[in-house]
Structure 1
Amino acid sequence: MYQRILVPLDGSDTSLAGLDEAVRLALLHGATLRLVHAFNTFKFRPGHASHASYASLLPEMKAEGERLLQQGRERAERSGAKVETKLLVSLTLSLSELVAEDAEDWKADLIVAGTRGRKGIERILWGSEAQHVTRMATMPVLLVQAPETGATG
């Protein structure tokens, strides 16, 4: 049923729970996983007070994204899953827009994303990138909550 499963990663336990579920589905269906890490630069456009300091951080941000993707790849490949990775960077799109657009371009059958499962006022104040993806995506989205460990994150 699923042949192409896209998984956004940010290095959190929550996104790793999403990855683990995606690996199980990929193995069950013989699907390929596409792990993505997204960041945008629109908050730091030229002329913004922090642009100079941000420009010096961009290579580090890219390197960290690549490191997270490599760790995710290794984790999935240890289970025998077929994996590819992609770093998503945009000047104008939000993280959720980047993920939804890449899923569409790649012709993903499913997006599997970890979510913190915020409730009440915390959900209103902080929102959820994963929930934004569900509103933008043209394919099914599976939200996976990480098991509670007593710590927030």
Structure 2
Amino acid sequence: MNSATEHQVNTGLNRILLCIDSTTSSRRLAAFVRHLATEKTQVHIVGVLENARAVLPLGPLAAFNLSAAHAQLLRAVKAGCLAAHECLTASGASVDSEIIDLVKDGGDAAHALSHEAQKWQADLMVLGSRHHRGLLRWVERAASAPVLKIAGCAILVVPGQCERDWSGRPQRMLFAIDGSPASLEALRIGSKLAAADGLLKAIYVVDRAARVTDFVPLSVLQDAFVEEGKVALEKAREVFAHSRDAGGVMLDAELAETELSGDDVAHAIAREATRWQPDLLVMGTHGRRGVARWMLGSVSGRVAELTQTPLLLVRKDDSR
């Protein structure tokens, strides 16, 4: 469980929006939040009741009873919110909840959650994701991937396949770094979440995959990426040294690589997370489009789809 020392660390994530839908493992999400919460934390639980017609667009053709489906979804969402509330009661945080009914209010889950985060001035949004394939994939992405682009706060995505249970603050944390202000901000904030004796690791992915659009020899590009990576990791060490009283926490840093073909940075990050088994993967994401670097939201969104590790995305608004 959290120690008193860990409770005293100010993470800056004091207003947490916990998002629940009809399929979310609410107790699992709440358990993650419970170990991040302190007596100063406010948790706002939002149950999202999606339109059954949107979730099951072919329902009417199969004589599907939408009213009954809506009532069943409502019961599931209310039960999820209640379970999350009960789980968080012992954390010392201030907890409240509400239901957003998209049948009555209209719109989609992604925009509803983003609007709620902005209205409530959340520091962190916590939500689940599901990695289904085929026809279900485009439906279920509505509650996770688009939110990554339009929410104005940090986001913790907990994959449905994640079977890891925290017994306190994260012991092992993996940071994907590219040297940008967004990734360094992610390191500053994320490192404060670590347990007092945690093990932290930063990686920079050298993209070795050859592409037909490359106009210079691949070896030249790789050498440039390696040098850029070394500089980025050195910046990460400096930021870590100044961002917290590390105590027993150490930051390891190393270069990672993509395969020579048929690979990309997102898959390399997901593979490293599978290999190293962190409690939490942390990345930066930008507030608007900018220079075409590899961590511009598209990579972080793709990692969110691939990984089975809880993923913290820390937003950095480049316009500021």
Q: TM-score, normalised by structure 2?
A: 0.40
- Aligned-residue CA RMSD in angstroms? 2.4
Q: CA deviation at 1:51?
A: 7.2
Distance 2:253 2:200 in 1: 8
Match of 1:36 among 203, 206, 220: 203
Which is helix-richer, 1 or 2?
Answer: 1
Residues 41-68 of structure 1 deviation map (CA, whole Å, 9 limit, x = unaligned)? 2234xxx585763312322321220121
3-state SS, counterpart of residue 41 of structure 1:
coil
Q: Give 1:40 shift.
A: 1.9
1:95-140 Cα distance to aligned partner (Å, 9 max, x none): 1111111011011111111111459xxxxxx761111111111110
Larger RCO: 1 or 2 (CA < 8 Å, sep 6+)? 1
Q: For structure 1, which runs of at least 5 residues remain unmatched after alignment?
A: 120-125
Q: What per-residue deviation string (whole Å, max 9, x for no partner) do you get for residues 57-93 of structure 1?
A: 3223212201211220222133324101121112232
**1:43 is paired with a residue of what secondary structure?**
coil
Residue 22 of structure 1 contacts residue 33 of structure 1 at CA under 8 Å; is this kept in 2?
no
CA distance in 1, matches of 2:214, 2:288: 31
Count of aligned pairs between the two proteins: 140
Identity across matched positions, percent:
26
Looking at structure 2, the residues matched to 52 and 150 of structure 1 have their Cα atoms a distance apart, in angstroms, of 32
Alignment of 1:77 with 2:247, yes or no, is no
Q: What stretches of structure 2 of length at least 5 have no aligned partner?
A: 1-167, 290-295
Tell me which moved more, 105-114 or 68-77: 68-77
Are 1:115 and 2:285 matched, yes or no?
yes
Does the 8 Å contact 1:19/1:72 carry over to 2?
yes
Q: Greater Rg, structure 1 or structure 2?
A: 2
Secondary structure of 1:11 counterpart: coil
Counterpart amino acid of 2:198? A
